[in-house]
Structure 1
Amino acid sequence: MEIIFEQLSQQIINYKSYIFWLGAISFAIFIFSLMSIKWLVSLIPSDYFINKKPSKFKSKYPVMWLVSMIIKNLIGYVLIIGGILMLVLPGQGLFTIFIGLMMSNYPGKYFIERKFIAIPSVLKTINWLRKRSNQEPLKV
């Protein structure tokens, strides 16, 4: 047993800088999540899961729409990765993944979102966050 602890402590010493940066990145993602989740949840239209509306922005400004889609998808992917990390680290992992999924574009997105929001604990928590932002609850 003593040999295992000695080897473990040696590995920690060898990878000290990696462990530090992993902790720093985890902490930054945690802080970003805490600051942004409430705001992002409040941006979801209350009838998002009832009415699917086509984008007017896409037809009027196609180049700006493309740039905004690239930025939105990058933010969404970062949130998904952060949410996956938060499943094992401190933070609101499932909700961060949900927000990331909503921000990203992919085939079958609407179906997955509806299945995810149908989980009672997820809907309850999202509506609680919306209430704190003075937004009406999501209609499912």
Structure 2
Amino acid sequence: MGILDWIKANEVLLSLLGAASLLMFLGSLLMIPIIVAYIPEDYFLRLKQNKFPRKPLRQIGHILKNLMGGILLLAGICMLLLPGQGILTMLVGISLLDFPGKARLQIRLVRLRRVRKSIAWIRHKAGRKPLILPDSD
């Protein structure tokens, strides 16, 4: 079976993957800059581990927030291979998730030169102050 036969046999799957890729690309172009622009400048100085809430309504919100973070993290991983802002999308997804070591991972990602420059550029264009990062570990 040649590659052209495989493409013809999986035309619907490839069309769906193409549409999903385009949707993620456009969504990341629109949403990620807005989210990055509105992160408080001292966000990385006041990171703390969130505890699971006790009230049922807050638990649902907590679960939905983590679900959205997981979706953004997976979309960011896909965008490493597909068009889109992969690392920034992963950073936003990670910021919504709750897991041990989250703060260290976020700070490590933001300290990557390309990520730091992208964030600074987005915040500058939005008229926001640069992010303040804690001193090195």
Which one is further off, 113-122 or 10-19? Answer: 113-122
Aligned to 1:35: 30
The structural deviation recorded for 1:139 is 0.3
Cα distance in 2, alignment partners of residues 88 and 69 from structure 1: 30
Aligned to 2:87: 94
Q: 1:128 aligns with which of 121, 125, 128?
A: 121
* C-alpha distance 52-97 of structure 1, shift in aligned 2 (>3 A): closer
Greater helix content: 1
CA RMSD of aligned residues (A): 2.0
How many pairs align? 131
Q: Structure 2: give runs of 5+ residues left out of the alignment.
A: none
Cα distance in 2, alignment partners of residues 126 and 79 from structure 1: 17
Aligned to 1:114: 107
Please list, as runs of the form range in 1=range in 2, the aligned pairs for 1:1-140 lying within 5 A after superposition. Answer: 7-52=2-47, 62-140=55-133
Give the fraction of aligned pairs with identical amino acids, expressed as a percent: 33
Which one is further off, 67-76 or 7-16? Answer: 67-76
What's the secondary structure of 1:49's corresponding residue? helix
* C-alpha distance 83-51 of structure 1, shift in aligned 2 (>3 A): same
Cα distance in 2, alignment partners of residues 68 and 9 from structure 1: 46
Cα distance in 2, alignment partners of residues 35 and 68 from structure 1: 24
Cα distance in 1, alignment partners of residues 2 and 15 from structure 2: 19
* C-alpha distance 21-53 of structure 1, shift in aligned 2 (>3 A): closer
TM-score, length-scaled by structure 1 = 0.84
